[in-house]
C-alpha cells in the first residue's frame, strides 16, 4: 500500500522546490540573459575563435552556478551521503519537467541550446557531483567533492572515444601502473563540458584480457585537468550551431594517484553506469517538459490564428496533430514517472529498472522530436523561425537520440532484459 502521507509531503516539497527554482531563474538568470542578449543571439559574438565561450559569458555561467549552489539548487540531485540534496528520482523528474515546460528548449538543455546562462543551474553527472562519487575515496570526498557541490569547480564525463561510443568494449585509452600512481594515455571525444571542466572522470583500460572477455578491465579515474599531459584539443560544433560544450581530450602519460580511482580497479564501468542511468532519466524528463511546452504554444496559436475564415483549431488535420501530440506526452509522462518510482523502490526491491530506464530514454526523445515536428508544421513558416524555438527543440531532440546511449542501444538493452526474464511491466 502506498503511504499517502509521505507522497503528499514529497509532492508539497517538490512544488516548493519548483517554485523556488523558477523564482531563482526569474530573479538571477533572466536578467543576465537580457543583459547579454546581443551576445547570446549571435554565435559569432558568443564564441571565441577556438570555439570556447567568450570570457564574459563563461564568467556569467560560473556566477549562476555559484549562486544556485548558495540557494540550495545546484547540487539538490546529488546524494546526501556526499553532501547533496538527495532528492529521490520522482522529485528529480518532476522538477526537470516543470522547468523545461516553463522555459522551453532554447535555454535549458546543457550545451546544445542557446541558454548558455541557464545550463549550469542544476548539476548532473556530466558536470558536477553525482551518485558516482559514492564510490570516491576519502581524499576525493574531502579535497574535490566540496568544490563541486559549491559550484566552484566542475567535471566532465570522459568515456566516449573516436572509435568507442556505443561499444564501450572498444575503448583504447589505457592506464598503466607506475609505482603508486597510474599513467593514462589516449583520446576522448564528444565530451560534454570538456572545454571548461576542472576535473575529468576518465575511463581507461587497465586489464586488456578482461576487456577482451567483456568482463571488466576498465577503471574510472578522477583526473585533474591541470595535470601535465592533459589537454582539450578542440571544441566540437554541433548541428545548427558553430560550437558547443563538447570537446576532445588528449591524454599523454597523465599521472594520476591511486587514491583518485572511483570504485575499484577494473570495475569502472559499473561506476559509469550510475551516471549514465541518471542521465538517461534526466534526459527523458527534460524531453517531456519540452514536449509539454510545445503543446502549450500550439494550443495558444491555433485558437488565435485563422485560415479560410475559421480558427486553425477548427481544421481536422490540426486536431489530429494536437491529439497525436497529447498521446505522445501522456505516454512519455507515465513512462518517465513510473520509471522514477521503480528507481526509488530499487533499494527495497533489489531490482534496478534497467529495461524501464532504456524505454523512458528511447521513447521520450523520439516523442519529443515528433512533437517538435508537428509544432513546426502547425505554425507553418513561423515554425521555422529561430524566434519561436521549435526548430531548436527539434534539433535538440534529434541530438539527444545519441548521447547516454543511442536509441538503438536502448532497444538492444530492452531486448536483452526481456530475454533474461525481465518481463514485468
Tens of pLDDT, residue by residue over 251-271, are 999 999 999 999 999 999 999
In-domain check, residue 375: yes
In-domain check, residue 300: yes
Looking at the structure, tell me whether residues 49 and 189 fall in a common domain.
no
Is 156 strand, coil or helix? strand
Looking at the structure, tell me whether residues 249 and 295 fall in a common domain.
no
The residue written with cell numbers 567533492 in the block is 145
Check residue 317 and give its pLDDT.
97
Tens of pLDDT, residue by residue over 147-191, are 999 999 999 999 999 999 889 999 999 999 999 999 999 999 999
**What band does 5 get if pLDDT is binned at 50, 70 and 90?**
very low
In-domain check, residue 28: yes
Q: What average pLDDT does the chain have?
A: 92
pTM summary value: 0.93
In-domain check, residue 295: yes
Q: What is the CATH number of the domain that holds 288?
A: 1.20.140.10
Looking at the structure, tell me whether residues 292 and 391 fall in a common domain.
yes
In-domain check, residue 425: no
In this predicted structure, the answer to whether residue 119 has a pLDDT above a threshold of 80 is no
Classify residue 261 as left (phi > 0), alpha (psi -120 to 50) or beta.
beta
Domain span at 197: 155-268
DSSP 8-class letter at 53: B
Check residue 117 and give its pLDDT.
46
Looking at the structure, tell me whether residues 104 and 9 fall in a common domain.
yes
In this predicted structure, the answer to whether residue 112 has a pLDDT above a threshold of 50 is no
What residue ranges in 276-406 does DSSP mark as E strands? Answer: 306-307, 310-311
Contact assessment for residue 116 and residue 46, using Cβ atoms and an 8 Å cutoff: yes
Q: What is the mean pLDDT of residues 41-50?
A: 90
In this predicted structure, the answer to whether residue 406 has a pLDDT above a threshold of 70 is yes
Check residue 165 and give its pLDDT.
87
When mean pLDDT is compared across 118-132, 144-158, 186-200, 237-251, the lowest value belongs to 118-132
**Helix, strand, coil share of the chain (percent; to 5):** 55, 15, 30
Amino acid at each position: 500500500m502506498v503511504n499517502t502521507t509521505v507522497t503528499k509531503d514529497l509532492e508539497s516539497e517538490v512544488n516548493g522546490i519548483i517554485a523556488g527554482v523558477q523564482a531563482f531563474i526569474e530573479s538571477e538568470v533572466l536578467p543576465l540573459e537580457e543583459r547579454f542578449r546581443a551576445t547570446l543571439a549571435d554565435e559569432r559574438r558568443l564564441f571565441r575563435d577556438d570555439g570556447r565561450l567568450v570570457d564574459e559569458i563563461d564568467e556569467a555561467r560560473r556566477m549562476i552556478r555559484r549562486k544556485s549552489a548558495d540557494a540550495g539548487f545546484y547540487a539538490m540531485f546529488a546524494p546526501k551521503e556526499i553532501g547533496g540534496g538527495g532528492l529521490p528520482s520522482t522529485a528529480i523528474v518532476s522538477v526537470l519537467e516543470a522547468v523545461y515546460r516553463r522555459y522551453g528548449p532554447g535555454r535549458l538543455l546543457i550545451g546544445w541550446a542557446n541558454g548558455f546562462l541557464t545550463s549550469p543551474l542544476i548539476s548532473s553527472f556530466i558536470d558536477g557531483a553525482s551518485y558516482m562519487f559514492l564510490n570516491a575515496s576519502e581524499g576525493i570526498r574531502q579535497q574535490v567533492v566540496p568544490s563541486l557541490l559549491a559550484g566552484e569547480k566542475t567535471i566532465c564525463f570522459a568515456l566516449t572515444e573516436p572509435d568507442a561510443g556505443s561499444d564501450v568494449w572498444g575503448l583504447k585509452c589505457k592506464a598503466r601502473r607506475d609505482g603508486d600512481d597510474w599513467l593514462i594515455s589516449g583520446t576522448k571525444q564528444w565530451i560534454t563540458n570538456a572545454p571548461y571542466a576542472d576535473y575529468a572522470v576518465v575511463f581507461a583500460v587497465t586489464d586488456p584480457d578482461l576487456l577482451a572477455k567483456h568482463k571488466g578491465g576498465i577503471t574510472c579515474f578522477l583526473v585533474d585537468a591541470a595535470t601535465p599531459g592533459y589537454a582539450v584539443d578542440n571544441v566540437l560544433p554541433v548541428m545548427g550551431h558553430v560550437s558547443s560544450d563538447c570537446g576532445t581530450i588528449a591524454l599523454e602519460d597523465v599521472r594520476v594517484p591511486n587514491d583518485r580511482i572511483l570504485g575499484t580497479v577494473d570495475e569502472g564501468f559499473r561506476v559509469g553506469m550510475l551516471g549514465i542511468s541518471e542521465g538517461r532519466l534526466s534526459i527523458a524528463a527534460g524531453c517531456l517538459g519540452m514536449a509539454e511546452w510545445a503543446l502549450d504554444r500550439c494550443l495558444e496559436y491555433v485558437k488565435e490564428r485563422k485560415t479560410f475564415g475559421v480558427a486553425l483549431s477548427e481544421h481536422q488535420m490540426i486536431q489530429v496533430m494536437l491529439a497525436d501530440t497529447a498521446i505522445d506526452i501522456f505516454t512519455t509522462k507515465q513512462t518517465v514517472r513510473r520509471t522514477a518510482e521503480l528507481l526509488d523502490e530499487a533499494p527495497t526491491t533489489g531490482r534496478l529498472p534497467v529495461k524501464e530506464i532504456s524505454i523512458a530514454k528511447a521513447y521520450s526523445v523520439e516523442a519529443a522530436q515528433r512533437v517538435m515536428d508537428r509544432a513546426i508544421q502547425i505554425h507553418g513558416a513561423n515554425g521555422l523561425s529561430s524566434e519561436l524555438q521549435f526548430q531548436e527543440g527539434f534539433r535538440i531532440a534529434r541530438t539527444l537520440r545519441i548521447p547516454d546511449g543511442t536509441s538503438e542501444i536502448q532497444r538492444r538493452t530492452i531486448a536483452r532484459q526481456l530475454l533474461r526474464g525481465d518481463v514485468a511491466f
